[in-house]
């Protein structure tokens, strides 16, 4: 048994005879971690009475997706950019409103000094702090934290439910509806998380040889993806649809929800795809597998946990080649993708 996984949670359970009237969830950063919390919160929302108000507090940059979810009554966004001082001042302006809400339960799914301060100042009857220490997958630690409060036992409830008014803006992107979409996401932040771009092209070539329905390969993301996206367009020609810098986070989520498959390095988009229940292949290098692998029926992650130097979290590899990524072949990724699709129920 891994005793590291048995870290005790800090908090106070809900002791009311009825469900609480108001619950506040705090998750301020980072983008992928905010998304990871949502399937478990969807499960919580599904089990709470309709009269229970579920609110979410995050940072402005992270707020698009929670705002588009049908599960929250209110989403509060702290402004301030990257300035902690400005963010704290914004919280002081927001504090009277939050205090007046009279939250019965506060779930601090961030667990750092700022989120702790917010929780203390709201004086909830029940509360919990996120487990930052164990080696469990971040989603499982989120589940443990929510379960601790005693309101419900939650699970990974994918797909997420979007508000009706934001259900689909896909027409604006002129995406072909008579074909399958496969998202390629070479967005790992370091060289130790970047699968060779040539292998992505090989994967696409293998895919097209066996495709039963025409497939377009989509690229989503921010400005850091532009150079790679241009190269992919050159290599794939008319089969490539470049949406880099053309969608906000919520629009990207809507695109993902209609995709057949996502092949992604460790990034926020990977977690978005998993949260929407889309068949997703993760290609990890130095990333810690135990912290980030969802282990869901619709996901598979190539990872380095079997290697002596694996799960190193280093930005630069100690070897001449990034061995953990170099050993992953395009045909192997294709075979895993086809296997995953065969056992994953087809979505509309």
pLDDT tens digits for range 50-68: 999 999 999 998 999 999 9
Domains: count for the chain: 2
Work out the pLDDT band at 133, boundaries 50, 70, 90: confident
What does the chain come to in residues? Answer: 348
The answer on 112 and 45 residing in a single domain is yes
Nearest to 115 by CA among 106, 126, 103: 106
Which of 141, 165, 189 delimits the end of a domain? 165
Mean pLDDT of the chain: 91
**Which has more confidence, 189 or 345?**
189
Asked whether residue 240 is domain-assigned, the answer is yes
Q: Which residue has the tokens 């092209």?
A: 201
The answer on 185 and 132 residing in a single domain is no
Residue 41 pLDDT more than 90?
A: yes
The answer on 99 and 24 residing in a single domain is yes
Asked whether residue 230 is domain-assigned, the answer is yes
The answer on 207 and 149 residing in a single domain is no
pLDDT of residue 165: 56
The answer on 118 and 65 residing in a single domain is yes
Residue 278 pLDDT more than 70?
A: yes
The answer on 181 and 148 residing in a single domain is no
CB contact at 8 A, 94 and 132: no
For the chain, give the percent of residues with pLDDT over 90. Answer: 73
The answer on 332 and 210 residing in a single domain is yes
The answer on 133 and 56 residing in a single domain is yes
Which of 133, 165, 197 delimits the end of a domain? 165
The answer on 276 and 227 residing in a single domain is yes
The answer on 151 and 176 residing in a single domain is no
Which of 165, 195, 212 delimits the end of a domain? 165
Pick from 157-171, 211-225, 278-292: least confident: 157-171
Nearest to 57 by CA among 9, 13, 90: 90
Residues 194-223 have a mean pLDDT of: 96
> Domain span at residue 39?
8-165
Asked whether residue 348 is domain-assigned, the answer is no
Helix axes 197-210 and 226-236, enclosed angle (nearest 10): 40
Asked whether residue 258 is domain-assigned, the answer is yes
Side-chain-side CA neighbours of 143 within 13 Å: the count stands at 14
């Amino acid at each position: 048994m891994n005793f590291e996984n048995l870290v005790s949670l800090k908090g106070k359970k809900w002791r009311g005879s009825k469900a609480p009237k108001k619950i506040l969830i705090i998750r301020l950063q980072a983008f992928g971690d905010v998304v990871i919390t949502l399937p478990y919160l969807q499960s919580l929302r599904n089990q709470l009475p309709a009269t229970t108000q579920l609110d979410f507090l995050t940072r402005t940059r992270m707020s698009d997706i929670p705002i588009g979810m049908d599960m929250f009554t209110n989403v509060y966004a702290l402004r301030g950019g990257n300035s902690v001082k400005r963010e704290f001042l914004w919280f002081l302006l927001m504090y009277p409103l939050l205090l007046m809400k009279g939250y019965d339960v506060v779930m601090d799914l961030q667990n750092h000094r700022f989120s702790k301060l917010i929780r203390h100042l709201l004086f909830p009857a029940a509360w919990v702090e996120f487990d930052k220490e164990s080696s469990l997958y971040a989603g499982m630690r989120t589940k443990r934290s929510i379960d601790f409060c005693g309101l419900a036992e939650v699970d990974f409830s994918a797909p997420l439910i979007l508000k009706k008014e934001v259900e689909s803006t896909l027409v604006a992107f002129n995406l072909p509806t008579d074909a399958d979409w496969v998202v390629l996401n070479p967005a790992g932040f370091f060289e130790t998380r970047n699968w060779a771009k040539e292998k992505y092209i090989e994967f696409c070539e293998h895919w097209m040889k066996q495709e039963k329905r025409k497939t377009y390969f989509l690229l989503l993301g921010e400005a850091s993806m532009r150079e790679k996206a241009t190269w992919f367009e050159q290599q794939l020609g008319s089969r490539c649809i470049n949406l880099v810098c053309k969608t906000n986070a919520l629009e990207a989520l809507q695109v993902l929800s209609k995709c057949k498959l996502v092949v992604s390095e460790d990034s926020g988009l990977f977690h978005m795809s998993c949260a929407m229940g889309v068949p997703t292949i993760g290609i990890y290098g130095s990333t810690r597998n135990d912290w980030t692998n969802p282990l869901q029926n619709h996901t598979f992650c190539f990872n380095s946990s079997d290697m002596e130097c694996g799960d190193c979290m280093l930005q630069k590899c100690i070897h001449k080649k990034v061995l953990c990524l170099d050993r992953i072949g395009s045909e192997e990724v294709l075979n895993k993708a086809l296997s995953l699709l065969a056992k994953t129920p087809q979505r509309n």
